[in-house]
Amino acid sequence: MNLNLPCCFLAAWVVLFCHVANAQNDTTIHRDIDRIDIVAPAERNNTSAVQLLRGERLALLPTIDVAGALRLFNGLTIKDYGGIGGLKTVSVRSLGASHTAVEYDGVPVSNTQAGQIDISRFDVNSISELKLSVGQDDNMLKPAKLFASGAVLSINSFQENFDGNHRLKITLRTGSFGYFFANCNYTQKLPNRLTIKAEGEYMRNDGMYNFTLKNYKTITTEKRRNTDIRSGKLELALHYNDTVRKSLDLKIYGYLSERGLPGSVVLYNPRAEERLKDENLFVQGNYKYRIFSNLTTKIIAKYNYSFSRYSDINVMYSDGKLVQKSTQNELFLSWINLWQICEPLTFSVAIDENINTLVSNITDRQPTRNTIQAAANLRYNYKKLFTATIGEVFTHLREHTENGSHFQDLDRWSPFANVVVKINKKITATLMLKNTYRVPTFNELYYTTLGTTGLQPEDAREMDFGLSYSSKKWGASVNCYHNKIKNKIVAIPTLYIWKMANYGKVTITGVDLAADKKVAISDVLIDLSARYSYQKAQDVTDNKSKLYKSQIPYTPLHSGSGSVAIKYNDWAANVTAILSGKRYFLEYNIPDNEIENYAEFSASISRNFNIKDVDFSLKFSCINFTNCQYDVIKYYPMPGRQFQLNLSLTL
Partner 1 sequence: MTNKFYKFLTLGALTLSISVAFTSCSDDDDNDDKQVTDPSTRKAFILNEGSWNANNSTLDVYHPYSEPTFLEKDVFSTVNGEKIGDTGQDLIAYGDRLYLSVWGSNYLAKLDSNGKVIEKYQFKADEGQPRHLAADGKFVYVSTYGGKVAKFDTTSISAPVAFAEVGNNPEGIAVKGNYLVVCNSQQTGSDGMSVSDNRVSIVDLSSFTIAKHITSEVYGNYQSVAVVKDSIYITYYTPSYSVEMLNLDINKGTLTPTGAATKMIATSEGELFCANVATVYDENWNATTNTSFFVRNVNTGKDTPLLDLSATPELATATVYLFDIDYASHDLYIGTTDYKTNGTIYHFDKDGKLLDKFETSSISPSKAVIF
Query: Which helix (H) or strand (E) segment is 287 a member of?
Result: strand 274-292
162 binds partner 1 per the rule CB under 8 A: no
Asked whether the beta carbons of 29 and 521 are under 8 A apart, the reply is no
Residue 640: φ, ψ to 5°: -85, -140
Binding string, residues 218-237; x marks residues near partner 1 by CB under 8 A: x-------------------
Residues 588-607 vs partner 1: string with x where CB under 8 A? x-x-xx--------------
Among 153, 237, 265, 564, binds partner 1 (CB under 8 A): 265
Inter-CA distances, 268 with 93, 213, 219, 222, 630, Å: 36, 11, 13, 11, 20
In angstroms, how far is the first alpha carbon of the chain from the final one?
A: 47
**Shortest CB 110 distance to partner 1, Å:** 13
Rounded Cα–Cα distance for residues 628 and 208 (Å): 17
Amino acid at 113: Q
Quick one: 130 or 501, whose CB is closer to partner 1? 501
Q: In the window 64-93, what residues touch partner 1 (CB under 8 A)?
A: 81, 86-87
List all residues 6 or more positions away from 88 whose beta carbon is below 8 Å from its beta carbon.
65, 66, 67, 78, 79, 80, 81, 118, 119, 120
Subset of 359-388 contacting partner 1 (CB under 8 A): 361-362
CA–CA–CA angle 138, 141, 142 (5° rounding):
95
Cβ pair 465, 456 in contact under 8 A: no
Dist. CA 536–CA 402, nearest whole Å: 43
From candidates 383, 495, 611, 612, binder to partner 1 by CB under 8 A: 495
Member of 28, 126, 159, 324 binding partner 1 (CB under 8 A):
324
Nearest-angstrom CA–CA distance, 570 and 225: 40
By CB under 8 A, residue 439 contacts partner 1: no
By the rule CB under 8 A, 491 interacts with partner 1 = yes
* Identified binder of partner 1 from the candidate list 16, 184, 376, 450, rule CB under 8 A: 450
Q: Is 292 in the site for partner 1 (CB under 8 A)?
A: no
- Nearer to partner 1 by Cβ, of 317 and 609: the residue is 317
Q: Is residue 500 a contact residue for partner 1 (CB under 8 A)?
A: yes
Q: Residue 448, interface with partner 1 (CB under 8 A)?
A: yes
In the chain, how long is the greatest CA-to-CA distance? 76
Rounded to a whole number of angstroms, the minimum distance from the CB of residue 363 to partner 1 is: 9
Segment contacting partner 1 (CB under 8 A): 150-158, 159-167, 175-183, 488-496? 488-496
Least distance from partner 1 to the Cβ atom of residue 270, Å: 10
Nearer to partner 1, 5 or 552 (CB): 552
Q: How far is the CB of 118 from partner 1 (least distance, A)?
A: 6
For position 496 contacting partner 1 by CB under 8 A, the verdict is yes
Interacting residue with partner 1 among 321, 400, 472, 549 (CB under 8 A): 321
State yes or no: residue 586 binds partner 1 (CB under 8 A): yes
Question: With binding defined as CB under 8 A, does residue 547 bind partner 1?
Answer: yes
Please, where are the H alpha helices in 24-108?
A: 55-59, 66-70
Question: In this chain, which of 27, 161, 192, 216 binds partner 1, going by CB under 8 A?
Answer: 216
- Cβ atoms of 415 and 390 within 8 Å: the answer is yes
Check binding of 126 to partner 1 (CB under 8 A): no
CB-count exposure of residue 477 (10 Å: 0-12, 13-18, 19+): buried
Phi, psi dihedrals of residue 591, rounded to the nearest 5°: -55, -35
Residue with Cβ nearer partner 1 (294 or 449)? 449
